[in-house]
Structure 1
Amino acid sequence: MNKTLVIINGTYPYQRSEDYLANEVNYIQGFNKIIIFPMFIYGHKKKSDIKDYPVPKNIHFFNSQQSYHKNILFCIYFILCHTFFYDEFWNILKQREHLYQRIKKFIRTSFKSINAYRDIKRELIKNCKNEKIYLYSYWMADTAVTLSLLKKYSKLPIIFTFTRCHRFDVYEYANPTKYISYRKLILSTVDKIYAISNDAKFHLEKSYPQLCKNKIQIQRLGTDEHGVIEVKKTNILRIVSCSWLRPVKRIPLIFEALDSLNIPIEWTHYGDGEEMGILQSKIKKNKNKKLKIK
């Protein structure tokens, strides 16, 4: 039997996101077919809609033609027929904290995941019915809920399921409501969890020891090898940072540290984000003539 890998992700390759996945797909081997399903992309898409990424020829893409709003009756019917929804709802009610926000998030996740489940199942029945199916969720959140539903209810020949986990999909505190939907469903269903850091692995094993036992491995994110460029040695200390400018990254602290030094420094930063204004405001007040910033 042929082996098919189905990757359930967010928006790659139609929106500028998930750059590490764009790198990763170039190195996938051992499958006769690779299918990528961007869960949060809706409507008819053409190859010309892929603008920011070179796409390998051996990869197939498909996505939901309609959002869950237009398939709401199917979503409700699916919920009525299965217990996973009620189990999670009861867990939320027991915790009480951020109750309204958590219920709102939980319902939205449920409908999005069921909508994706419906479309992926249809596609696989149509084109991969007699193949060994491997499911890979790029995030351990909404996409992993869809993966879990497919494994539990689709009756497809699914051989193995696995998920990556990053940050917001690992740490409850990284979410405004301190809640991640269907955490126990995901952890109990997937065969393997690939964390990008030791801390993520430690957090999950400590928080859910029974559900995560012998399931987690470290698989770091990476980029292509571009080699080493030698530069002439000078008395200038050159610092390069590359990051999304958001509070958790704490990039303004780099400026504060460098601003306090009395040596020639050239700092180059790559990356935009919501803290760009804060960083630029700090830089405007820079009186250290030895610090040059790009």
Structure 2
Amino acid sequence: MELLLITNQYPYNFGDVAFIKPEILFLSKAFEKVHVITTSNLSHPEKTELPPNVQASFIPHDSQYNNSKRIKSIFFSTLQPLWIMSIFFKELGFLINQKKINTKTLKNSIFFLLDANIDAIFLNKYLENNPKIEIVYTYWFERKTLSALINKKRMGRRILCVTRAHGYDLYEFRNENNYQPYKKWMDRYVDRVFFISIAGYNYYLKKFAKSHIDKYVIARLGIENPYSWPIFYDSKHIEERTKNHLNIISCSNIIPVKRIHLIIEAL
């Protein structure tokens, strides 16, 4: 059995590599082969070392497509324009029903689907050339997930589609116009959604979930710690520094959702 993992940056040595690098070790042992497709379009970035049975490829980035190419991809693909457009009209109905319809959300929904369709065309060819792939795992619950699901439903591929939900790809308030494109449609067809926190899990169940509860799973992130404590100082030095002091360390990104201010308020 082979796995296709779609990332934003991995195996390039930045971004989601911090989380995927330790996880890929487990995936490479669980599958005969792991295919990695990244959407990063950096020309000569530094790459991290890959396990022997992991193969990395590049997916075309949407900046390589102008509006004309996006529209042509709808009418000159094997995915059929009417079926693709039916997804859009369902999303349009959702926007109207939720009273979120405006110029910005409409534009967002159109380009989100057009770019997902372009990615779906690429994925269709990739899956045809690699028929042993049985699971498509998108590391972010966004456009690439929609692309994989378009392949699954339109092309009738016998694949499982699973995804992770983090922050910007989950919470409406983390996005412009308070809008998460096509979440309702994707929820209907995705096979598993893995959440990195209980808060995200509960939020999704309240906002988007319409499927059986077993589809939604909490699977926290983690990173390798190759160091033994202490890292930088000998034990005697650490003991002297902490004897009469409380040391609090946070590695969180300094953004509102991380609520770093609560550390200060708790002191």
Q: Same fold (TM over 0.5)?
A: yes
Superposed displacement of residue 162, structure 1: 0.9
Query: What residue is the counterpart of 2:251 in the other structure?
Result: 242
Whole-angstrom distance in 2 between the partners of 1:198 and 1:154: 34
1:60-99 paired onto structure 2 within 5 Å: 60-65=55-60, 67-69=64-66, 71-77=69-75, 78=79, 80-82=81-83, 83-97=86-100, 99=102
Superposed displacement of residue 227, structure 1: 5.1
Alignment deviations for residues 231-284 of structure 1 (CA, whole Å, 9 cap, x no partner): 3322232221112222322335545665xxxxxxxxxxxxxxxxxxxxxxxxxx
Query: What residue is the counterpart of 1:55 in the other structure?
Result: 50
Query: What residue is the counterpart of 2:128 in the other structure?
Result: 125
Return the letter of the residue paired with 1:184. K
Matched, 1:108 2:103: no
Whole-angstrom distance in 1 between the partners of 2:264 and 2:166: 26
Instruction: Determine if contact 1:98/1:177 at 8 Å carries over to the other structure.
Output: no
Query: What residue is the counterpart of 1:17 in the other structure?
Result: 15
Q: Cα gap change, 1:250/1:199 in structure 2, threshold over 3 Å: closer, same or farther? A: closer
Alignment deviations for residues 192-246 of structure 1 (CA, whole Å, 9 cap, x no partner): 1111111222222233453253211111101114354153322232221112222
Secondary structure class of the residue paired with 1:145: helix
Instruction: Determine if contact 1:137/1:143 at 8 Å carries over to the other structure.
Output: yes
Whole-angstrom distance in 2 between the partners of 1:31 and 1:52: 22
TM-score for both structures, normalised by structure 2: 0.82
Whole-angstrom distance in 1 between the partners of 2:143 and 2:212: 19
Runs of 4+ in 1 over 6 A off after TM superposition: none
Matched, 1:163 2:137: no
Q: Cα gap change, 1:199/1:212 in structure 2, threshold over 3 Å: closer, same or farther? A: farther
Instruction: Give aligned pairs, total.
Output: 248
Superposed displacement of residue 65, structure 1: 4.0
Whole-angstrom distance in 1 between the partners of 2:257 and 2:47: 26
Alignment deviations for residues 138-194 of structure 1 (CA, whole Å, 9 cap, x no partner): 111212111211211233332x22111112222222223111111111111111111
Instruction: Determine if contact 1:93/1:99 at 8 Å carries over to the other structure.
Output: no
Query: What residue is the counterpart of 1:32 in the other structure?
Result: 32
Alignment deviations for residues 83-127 of structure 1 (CA, whole Å, 9 cap, x no partner): 21221122223333362221122122112211111111112212x
Superposed displacement of residue 42, structure 1: 4.0
Q: Which runs of 5+ in 1 are unaligned?
A: 259-294
TM-score for both structures, normalised by structure 1: 0.75
Identity level (%): 25
Secondary structure class of the residue paired with 1:242: coil
Query: What residue is the counterpart of 1:199 in the other structure?
Result: 199
Instruction: Determine if contact 1:12/1:38 at 8 Å carries over to the other structure.
Output: yes
Whole-angstrom distance in 2 between the partners of 1:206 and 1:247: 22
Relative to total residues, which structure has the larger strand share, 1 or 2?
Answer: 1
Q: Cα gap change, 1:17/1:104 in structure 2, threshold over 3 Å: closer, same or farther? A: same
Secondary structure class of the residue paired with 2:52: coil
Query: What residue is the counterpart of 1:267 in the other structure?
Result: none
Secondary structure class of the residue paired with 1:241: coil
Relative to total residues, which structure has the larger helix share, 1 or 2?
Answer: 2
Return the letter of the residue paired with 1:166. H
Instruction: Determine if contact 1:13/1:50 at 8 Å carries over to the other structure.
Output: no
Whole-angstrom distance in 2 between the partners of 1:71 and 1:116: 12
